[in-house]
């Protein structure tokens, strides 16, 4: 039944009941019309108040359902996706999220060095559609681990980023079920070796400095994986993927340092099947220690996430160099605006991540 009809029928019923009661009562006899009108008004008011509160709740919560196997719906959703059959401990700031507890003692063996030849087994960059889960590995640095509240804040921000991406996907009528894994991984990088970073070139391909940074990030991830009892990053990614049935996963490496965030998509990774967005605690041209971590930036999460699906940077180029209507100052890959609410996925970026066809190629 439509909402207005329910409202009308209910208020008429309540008004009739109130009028009948007024007629029966000594004190209200003669005021039946007034009583009925007030009762009807109050009923409508209560219905609307309940609806307003309900709508507010709905906008604050995420869908409890997890993206599962089978055809995705035409709408786009965000949910917290449970990681199955692992030991975990609830985050005390936000019990929706849990820290992964490694069961076994970490093996002492050093893993083999990264195989650059693994590049031969390059995979295609996937489209951002279907069921995807974002899994986070938090790496503490310089003797400072990520605190529980810093982690909870970042995961909440990731959910916010996910909601934004889902809303944009809906705008393009793209079926996308995006999830944030309920379980996160936390390690400390106790290595004294500095994670050197050169200037990363602007543009859409990885320069030498950025490629080097990518290699280091993969080494860091493998080191973290070993602390958690896995053989290396590939082993961790494969084993965790097996516990997220029905969804494909992307990883976010949260490094508790200042540095320049970057994405390592599947077609550029040196480790088979490992694609990840490296997000520093604070954006900086060079890697540097941070004492107090600034608030998380959902724009960085979205920007790096879209890189993993083939989106290219669009900053440093005049808008006039793009095809008309393809890119505006509001595109999230252009970063002219700092607030996510003011940004969009413009048509060229949408084409790159597989949301529309027929607009490949940019500047």
Which residues are at the interface with Zn ion (CB under 5 A)?
313
Cβ atoms of 304 and 264 closer than 8 Å: no
We find the least distance from the C-beta atom of residue 325 to Zn ion, in angstroms, to be: 22
Nearer of residues 18 and 345 to Zn ion, judged by Cβ: 345
Cβ atoms of 146 and 256 closer than 8 Å: yes
We find the least distance from the C-beta atom of residue 240 to Zn ion, in angstroms, to be: 25
Nearer of residues 163 and 303 to Zn ion, judged by Cβ: 303
We find the least distance from the C-beta atom of residue 334 to Zn ion, in angstroms, to be: 10
Cβ atoms of 278 and 215 closer than 8 Å: no
Nearer of residues 188 and 210 to Zn ion, judged by Cβ: 210
Query: Distance of CA 333 to CAs 192, 217, 256, 311, 346, Å?
Result: 34, 22, 24, 7, 9
CA distance 109 to 23: 88
Nearer of residues 47 and 209 to Zn ion, judged by Cβ: 209
Nearer of residues 187 and 263 to Zn ion, judged by Cβ: 263
CA distance 166 to 76: 5
Nearer of residues 168 and 313 to Zn ion, judged by Cβ: 313
We find the least distance from the C-beta atom of residue 1 to Zn ion, in angstroms, to be: 50
We find the least distance from the C-beta atom of residue 264 to Zn ion, in angstroms, to be: 12
3-state class of 281 per DSSP?
strand
**Residue 233: CA count within 13 A, CB half-sphere:** 29
CA distance 5 to 47: 12
Nearer of residues 136 and 261 to Zn ion, judged by Cβ: 261
- Per DSSP, the residues of 164-210 read HHHHHHHHTT--EEEEEESEEEEEE----S-----PPPSSSS--HHH
We find the least distance from the C-beta atom of residue 200 to Zn ion, in angstroms, to be: 9
Name the residue whose CB lies closest to Zn ion.
313
We find the least distance from the C-beta atom of residue 291 to Zn ion, in angstroms, to be: 26
Could you give phi then psi for residue 247, rounded to 5 degrees?
Answer: -130, 150
CA distance 204 to 315: 10
């Amino acid at each position: 039944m439509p909402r207005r009809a329910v409202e009308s029928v209910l208020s008429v019923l309540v008004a009739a009941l109130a009028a009948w009661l007024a007629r029966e009562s000594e004190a209200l006899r003669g005021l039946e019309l007034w009583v009925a009108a007030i009762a009807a008004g109050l009923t409508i008011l209560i219905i609307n108040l309940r609806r307003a509160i309900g709508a507010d709740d709905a906008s604050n919560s995420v869908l409890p359902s997890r993206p599962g196997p089978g055809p995705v719906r035409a709408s786009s959703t965000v949910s917290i996706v449970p990681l199955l059959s692992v030991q975990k401990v609830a985050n005390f700031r936000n019990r929706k999220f849990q820290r992964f507890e490694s069961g076994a003692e970490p093996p002492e063996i050093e893993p083999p060095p990264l195989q650059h030849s693994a590049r031969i087994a390059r995979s295609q960059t996937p489209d951002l559609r279907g069921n995807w889960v974002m899994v986070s590995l938090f790496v503490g640095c310089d003797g400072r681990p990520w605190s529980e509240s810093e982690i909870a804040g970042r995961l909440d921000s990731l959910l916010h980023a996910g909601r934004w991406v889902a809303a944009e996907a809906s705008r393009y009528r793209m079926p996308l079920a995006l999830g944030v894994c309920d379980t996160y991984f936390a390690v400390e990088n106790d290595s004294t070796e500095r994670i050197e970073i050169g200037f990363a070139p602007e543009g859409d391909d990885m320069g030498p400095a950025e490629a080097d940074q990518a290699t280091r990030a993969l080494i860091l991830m493998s080191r973290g994986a070993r602390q958690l009892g896995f053989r290396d990053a590939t082993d961790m990614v494969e084993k965790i993927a097996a516990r997220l049935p029905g969804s494909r996963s992307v990883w976010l490496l949260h490094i508790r340092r200042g540095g320049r965030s970057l994405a390592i998509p599947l077609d550029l990774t040196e480790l088979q099947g490992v694609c990840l967005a490296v997000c520093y605690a604070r954006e900086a041209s060079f890697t540097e220690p941070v004492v107090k971590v600034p608030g998380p930036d959902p724009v960085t999460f979205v920007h790096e996430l879209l890189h993993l699906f083939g989106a290219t940077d669009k900053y440093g180029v005049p808008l006039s160099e793009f095809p008309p209507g393809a890119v505006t100052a509001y595109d999230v890959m252009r970063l002219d605006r700092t607030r996510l609410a003011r940004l969009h996925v413009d048509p060229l970026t949408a084409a790159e991540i597989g949301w529309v066809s027929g607009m490949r190629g940019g500047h």
